[in-house]
């Protein structure tokens, strides 16, 4: 009986050792600092720049400049949280079917497929952007820097709103609201403690 007990104990210790090593091998994921981060858009209506922001979004960033092949980024934006800064009636309008159709498509997403070194301090992040059920391959150039215990990512992604069916019906006319939209992001992450 003592022999079986020793084997059982050895098996448990071996299993605990393997599981412990697996836990130690898992990288520390970066946690989004929502208060310091932002996702904004800039567009033109009748030649005048309009700026808006999304109050709710999340990002999962696994970034190591020396291991770009293993690095990745995923951003999910709550389309219902958009604020044009011009009052509730305008915010309600962009939630409707012709614009975001947020009741049917409450989230926009970006999922990276590769991250490559660009110019010094810059990275070319390729991936799929999905807005209003339409997915496009995009490449955004992002800067990266460390500030204290935080990682800071900044970039601007120009898109054509009509490629995502944003602004349908009477709003499809790009002479009123320009087709070009810039998505500007400032993502701050801090390693979990």
| pLDDT of residue 185 exceeding 50 | yes
DSSP codes of every residue in 10-33: HHHHHHHHHHHHHHHHSPPPEEE-
> Using one digit for the tens of pLDDT, what is the confidence trace for 102-160?
999 999 999 999 999 998 889 999 999 999 999 999 999 999 998 888 899 999 999 99
Amino acid 5: pLDDT = 37
Q: Per this entry, what is the length of the chain?
A: 193
Is 44:161 a contact under the CB 8 Å cutoff?
A: no
Query: Which pTM was predicted?
Result: 0.79
| pLDDT of residue 40 exceeding 90 | yes
């Amino acid at each position: 009986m003592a022999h079986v007990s020793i084997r059982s104990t050895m098996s448990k210790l071996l299993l605990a050792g393997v599981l412990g090593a697996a836990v130690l091998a898992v990288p520390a994921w970066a946690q989004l600092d929502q208060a310091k981060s932002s996702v904004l858009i800039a567009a033109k209506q009748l030649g005048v720049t309009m700026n808006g922001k999304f109050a709710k979004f999340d990002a999962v960033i696994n970034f190591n400049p020396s291991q770009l092949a293993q690095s990745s980024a995923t951003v999910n934006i709550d389309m219902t949280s958009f604020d044009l800064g011009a009052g509730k009636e305008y915010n309600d309008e962009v939630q409707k079917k012709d614009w975001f159709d947020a009741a049917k498509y409450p989230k926009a997403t970006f999922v990276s497929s590769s991250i490559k070194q660009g110019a010094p301090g810059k990275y070319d992040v390729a991936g799929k952007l999905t807005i209003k059920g339409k997915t496009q391959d995009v490449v955004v150039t992002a800067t990266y820097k460390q500030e204290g215990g935080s990682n800071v990512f900044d970039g601007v992604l120009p898109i054509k709103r009509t490629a995502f069916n944003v602004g349908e019906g009477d709003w499809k006319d790009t002479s009123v609201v320009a087709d070009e939209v810039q998505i500007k992001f400032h993502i701050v992450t801090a390693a979990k403690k």
